[in-house]
């Protein structure tokens, strides 16, 4: 495979194609803030300032991909070089600590409202979390609130290369991309541990039949999901007072079990520069030796690096994307709680 990595980025009104001595982009799921850093010679023309538009494109030899669209966060000027760091809408979400109450709005509505208040662009928001009310405590940033709501629904939240927020559950069909060991992949490490035997229950304070029911906000001594195992060595209760609807509490408990199961296998890889890779994608790795699993794997963190001295590379971390399949009887048990 012919590798000819290159970077192109815009800072303010100027576009740069060959000026940077080093480029690094770090991408993750919320509450992580996506960012890129470029190092320019001190003599390079730079008229941009913090808050100006910024974007980054990388080409690993197979076409250019937009990695990040956002704004300049800060600059550091020196005698030898100038460093510029830019971030996307995750920066605005992480800087805001909302204090608001959302009534009879779904999780999707709350996410859209927070993104709007923070000035972040919104793309696809596709997850199911019915809520009677949600109070956004200032102990969390807006980025943490969005990540929490997505997690309750078994989804993940991240910003795309276009700078828009997306929240969705991982793909359960064909992986988004297939990589080949020995072609794109250079190093592979899989950390494995025993699948969890403890069931997890996210305990709400309902029940209400729907978010608009007359008793939606009435406190109940009955825990949700109904019939949850008593807390102890084999069952963990996690308080989640916002879960007042049976379906929401059951789904959130299932999501907690699926997440724990998926984290029993963590993949770390280093490969040639692969600009297509970003958090939230599901991939598989073909022809892995030593019985290593090809996946599917859900990318949780991606780091792209490009330098004049070392060329281009991508490292990424992923968790098992078939976590729901690992649950087996656990999910069957939870499904019969209501």
In this structure, what CATH number is given to the domain that contains residue 16?
Answer: 2.30.300.10
Q: Which residues are registered as beta bridge partners of 324?
A: none
Instruction: Give pLDDT tens digits for 233-252.
Output: 999 999 998 898 888 899 99
Instruction: Give pLDDT tens digits for 294-311.
Output: 889 999 999 999 987 778
φ and ψ at residue 46, rounded to 5 degrees: -145, 105
Instruction: Give pLDDT tens digits for 100-132.
Output: 999 889 999 999 999 999 999 999 999 999 998
Least trusted range by pLDDT, from 20-24, 136-140, 144-148, 218-222? 218-222
Helix count (H) and strand count (E) of the chain?
A: 6, 20
Euclidean distance between CA atoms 327 and 192, whole angstroms: 16
Euclidean distance between CA atoms 88 and 47, whole angstroms: 20
**Residue at which a domain ends, from 57, 88, 119:** 88
| Residue-number span of the structural domain to which 207 is assigned | 199-261
- pLDDT given at position 308: 79
φ and ψ at residue 298, rounded to 5 degrees: -100, 120
Q: Are residues 182 and 320 in the same domain?
A: yes
- pLDDT given at position 152: 95
CA atoms within 13 Å, Cβ hemisphere of 56? 31
Q: Are residues 84 and 30 in the same domain?
A: yes
Whether 72 is in a domain gets the answer yes
Instruction: Over range 46-70, report the average pLDDT.
Output: 95
- pLDDT given at position 299: 96
Instruction: Over range 5-32, report the average pLDDT.
Output: 94
Helices (H), the chain: 89-95, 107-118, 142-152, 246-262, 323-327, 329-335
Burial class of residue 337, CB neighbours in 10 A (0-12, 13-18, 19+)? middle
- Higher pLDDT residue, 203 or 69? 69
Instruction: Over range 306-319, report the average pLDDT.
Output: 91
Q: Are residues 11 and 83 in the same domain?
A: yes
Instruction: Give pLDDT tens digits for 155-199.
Output: 999 999 999 999 998 877 789 999 999 899 999 999 999 888 899
Measured distance between the N- and C-terminal CA atoms of the chain, rounded to whole angstroms: 54
- pLDDT given at position 196: 87
**Residue at which a domain ends, from 88, 115, 137:** 88
Residue 13 has pLDDT above 90, yes or no: yes
Q: Are residues 66 and 113 in the same domain?
A: no
Residue 325 has pLDDT above 60, yes or no: no
Q: Are residues 297 and 187 in the same domain?
A: yes
CB 35 within 8 A of CB 26: yes
Q: Are residues 205 and 151 in the same domain?
A: no
- pLDDT given at position 222: 75
- pLDDT given at position 230: 87
Q: Are residues 307 and 275 in the same domain?
A: yes
- pLDDT given at position 127: 93
Q: How far is CA 254 from the centre of its chain?
A: 19
Q: Are residues 58 and 142 in the same domain?
A: no
Q: Are residues 243 and 257 in the same domain?
A: yes
Q: How many distinct structural domains can be found in the chain?
A: 4
- pLDDT given at position 170: 83
Prediction pTM value = 0.89
Q: Are residues 98 and 109 in the same domain?
A: yes
- pLDDT given at position 313: 95
Instruction: Give pLDDT tens digits for 125-149.
Output: 999 999 988 999 999 999 999 999 9
């Amino acid at each position: 495979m012919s590798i000819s990595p290159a970077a192109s980025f815009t800072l303010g009104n100027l576009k740069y194609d060959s000026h940077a001595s080093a480029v690094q982009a770090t991408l993750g799921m919320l509450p992580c803030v996506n960012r890129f850093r470029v190092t320019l010679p001190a003599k390079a023309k730079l008229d941009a300032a913090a808050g100006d538009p910024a974007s980054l494109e990388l080409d690993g030899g197979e076409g250019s991909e937009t990695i990040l669209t956002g704004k300049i966060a800060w600059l550091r000027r020196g005698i030898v070089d100038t460093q510029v760091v830019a971030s996307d809408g995750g920066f605005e979400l992480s800087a805001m600590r909302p204090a608001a109450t959302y009534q009879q709005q779904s999780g999707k509505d709350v996410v859209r409202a927070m993104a709007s208040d923070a000035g972040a662009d919104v793309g696809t928001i596709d997850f199911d979390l019915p809520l009677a009310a949600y109070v956004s405590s200032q102990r969390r940033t807006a980025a943490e609130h969005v990540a929490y709501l997505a997690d309750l629904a078994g989804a993940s939240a991240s910003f795309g290369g276009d700078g828009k927020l997306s929240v969705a559950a991982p793909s359960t069909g064909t992986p988004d991309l297939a990589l080949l060991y020995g072609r794109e992949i250079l190093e592979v490490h899989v950390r494995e541990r025993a699948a969890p035997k403890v069931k997890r229950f996210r305990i709400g304070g309902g029940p209400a039949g729907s978010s608009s029911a007359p008793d939606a906000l009435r406190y109940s001594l009955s825990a949700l999901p109904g019939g949850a195992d008593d807390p102890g060595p084999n069952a963990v209760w996690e308080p989640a007072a916002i879960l007042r609807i049976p379906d929401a509490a059951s789904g959130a408990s299932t999501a907690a079990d699926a997440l724990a199961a998926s984290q029993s296998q963590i993949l770390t890889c280093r490969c040639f520069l692969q600009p297509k890779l970003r958090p939230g994608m599901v991939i598989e790795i073909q022809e892995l030796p030593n019985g290593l699993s090809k996946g599917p794997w859900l990318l949780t963190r991606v780091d792209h690096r490009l330098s004049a001295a070392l060329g281009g590379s991508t490292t990424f971390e992923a968790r098992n994307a078939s976590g729901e399949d690992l649950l087996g009887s656990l999910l069957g048990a939870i499904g019969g709680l209501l």
